[in-house]
Amino acid sequence: MIEIVSRERCVTCDRCVEVCPRNVFDRGEDGVPVIARQGDCQTCFMCEAYCPADALFVAPFARPEEPGSPLRDEEHLAATGLLGSYRRQIGWGRGRTPGAAVAVGPELPHSPPPIVTPAAGLGATTERGAR
Ligand code: SF4
Ligand code: SF4
């Protein structure tokens, strides 16, 4: 579920607002999206995948994180490399190879779900263990 929009990183491009299939975001007055309907999030990671600034974090769980969770702490997510890590892991972004998962990286405190890679085709999955 979407947890973080980094005001520090956001470049107000509106991509997350456009790609979200559940209309979770509102555009803030300053252009930075606001998580307006978190309960509608379907944890599809599309917003994080499309964000060019690695400014979003979608936790791999269907319920919101509890207050005080490190997965709601932007500073922690930035320091551990988790902020925007889904996009990085699927290889989207300048200098990255689409479909290539990183070999090493920070780990979540829980087992993440597998991700289906377009290159691997339907039914094939790759572990998101580096996230
Ligand atoms: S994870 Fe999917 S449903 Fe949730 S905010 Fe991002 S794009 Fe919208
Ligand atoms: S996609 Fe990223 S940079 Fe663009 S508006 Fe959304 S959070 Fe900001």
Mean pLDDT over all residues of the chain? 84
Give distance in angstroms: CA of 50 to centre of ligand 2: 8
Q: Where are the domains of the chain?
A: 2-90
CATH class for the domain made up of 2-90: alpha beta
Task: Convert 95-108 to b/e letters by CB count within 10 Å (16 or more is b).
Answer: eeeeeebeeebeeb
Give distance in angstroms: CA of 119 to centre of ligand 1: 22
Give distance in angstroms: CA of 27 to centre of ligand 1: 14
Q: What is the pLDDT along the chain (131 residues), one digit of tens a residue?
A: 999 999 999 999 999 999 999 999 999 999 999 999 999 999 999 999 999 999 999 999 999 999 999 999 999 999 999 999 999 999 998 888 887 665 445 555 444 444 544 444 444 444 443 34
Measured from the alpha carbon of residue 19, the closest ligand is 1
Q: Which atom of ligand 1 is nearest to the CA of 42?
A: 3
Distance CA 17, CA 89 (A): 21
Residues 6+ apart with CB under 8 A from 89: 101, 102, 105, 115, 128, 130, 131
Give distance in angstroms: CA of 36 to centre of ligand 1: 12
CA distances from 21 to 15, 61, 71 (A): 12, 17, 23
Alpha helices in the chain (DSSP H): 15-19, 46-50, 74-79, 85-90
Asked if 85 and 106 touch (Cβ cutoff 8 Å), the reply is: yes
113-128 per-position pLDDT tens digit: 445 444 444 444 444 4
Measured from the alpha carbon of residue 84, the closest ligand is 2
Distance CA 92, CA 15 (A): 14
